Amino acid sequence: MKYNFDQSINRLNTGSVKWDEVGNVFGDKDVLPMWVADMDFKSPQPVIDALQKRVEHGIYGYTSRTESYYEATIDWMNKRHKWAIEKDWICFSPGIVPALSLIVQSYTKPGDKIIIQPPVYYPFTSVVENNGREVVHNPLQLKDNNYVMDFDDLKQKIDPAVKMIIISSPHNPVGRVWTKDELITLGEICLEHNILVVSDEIHFDLVYKDRKHTPFAAISEEFAQNSIICTAPSKTFNLAGLQISNVIIPNKELREPFTKAIESNFISMTGTFGVVALESAYRYGEEWLDQLIDYLQGNLDFLKSYFESNIPEIKVIQPESTYLVWLDCRELGLNEKELEQFMLKEAKVAFNAGYTFGIGGEGFMRVNIACPRAILEEGLKRIQAAIKKL
């Protein structure tokens, strides 16, 4: 089946955070929303069909995770990522951020230190600090327009109070797909110092075709026994509103505190439609996904060319994954608040401000390119027109 990603679908008045809340969040309902990390594309037709069939059944009682649910997840990980997982490893969570919070609660105690690598997905900071733990920053380094981990800094930041590191892999917002060698170096440091690796891999399916994602736990048995891997179909297939994710924990002893936390917080029940969507997406969504990645590559190429030709003051950090693009706006000479207001008030576009992602985010913006090209072009034209007035 050929999918039409150029189709413009009106998302207003659907309860969309991205579109309906833009006025409340940014103070101007007329800005073009290119912020929240969901897509302006319909999900795969097999997913829509499966959900419609379930809706037509008419009874939406308590729902279990069926054997076929687990089989679909196992098959997807093996087919798409060459990662052989087992049913017992798969733990349900209604979302990755709630899972991260429970992980922090379950494997550390108040006052413990947890390392993150900014600029990074901003809830990482919240799930640490809101649970009474201390954030330790191991900032990424920007070298030759490419971000790398700073392992020397990481080693210097480690002390006996550091119990965990939370990594974004692939990385949001800078778009890196960490190489196997980078992950091995990180993993060996963590093994040496008895630091648990928690890897948020929610963007792992959205990798551009010249790159390959390596699940951290797939590298070695030692790494598998010292890691917790957070996955979901939500970014891949645009299913965020259905609230379903899988936390994969190969180590049985490590798994027990998490499953206990899920049960003791009474969030172990699965929504009816999330189960249906995950299974149908993993079984029948690959054709759609391959076409999506091709379309996103086209959007990325268009965006890069547009900036180079028309807005050279803004540099594109080349993403290796995700539909989120990190823009270097420092040549505009605006401070972080001025840059944010310039995009909102003058360009009339709603991006995520770089400073919200922590250290190293100042002077950057994150733009979501998972939209029809006409919307992307409109956003770029607005920026170009505004910069001419600077």
Q: d(Cα 206, Cα 234) in Å, to the nearest integer?
A: 11
Backbone angles phi, psi at 344, to 5 degrees: -75, -50
Three-state SS for 151? helix
pLDDT at 292: 99
Name every residue whose Cβ is closer than 8 Å to that of residue 312 and which is 6 or more positions away in sequence.
none
Ordered per-residue pLDDT tens for the chain, 390 residues: 999 999 999 999 999 999 999 999 999 999 999 999 999 999 999 999 999 999 999 999 999 999 999 999 999 999 999 999 999 999 999 999 999 999 999 999 999 999 999 999 999 999 999 999 999 999 999 999 999 999 999 999 999 999 999 999 999 999 999 999 999 999 999 999 999 999 999 999 999 988 999 999 999 999 999 999 999 999 999 999 999 999 999 999 999 999 999 999 999 999 999 999 999 999 999 999 999 999 999 999 999 999 999 999 999 999 999 999 999 999 999 999 999 999 999 999 999 999 999 999 999 999 999 999 999 999 999 999 999 998
- How much is the pTM? 0.97
Count of positions (residues) in the chain: 390
Q: List residues bridging with 327 in a β-sheet.
A: 316, 365
pLDDT at 390: 86
- Quick check: bond before 257 cis, omega within 30? no
Chain centroid to CA 52: how far? 27
Q: d(Cα 238, Cα 281) in Å, to the nearest integer?
A: 10
Provide long-range contacts, Cβ within 8 A and 24+ apart, for 290-298.
Answer: 291/2, 291/3, 291/5, 292/3, 292/5, 292/41, 293/206, 293/207, 293/208, 293/209, 295/5, 296/206, 296/208, 296/323, 296/369, 296/370, 297/208, 297/209, 298/373
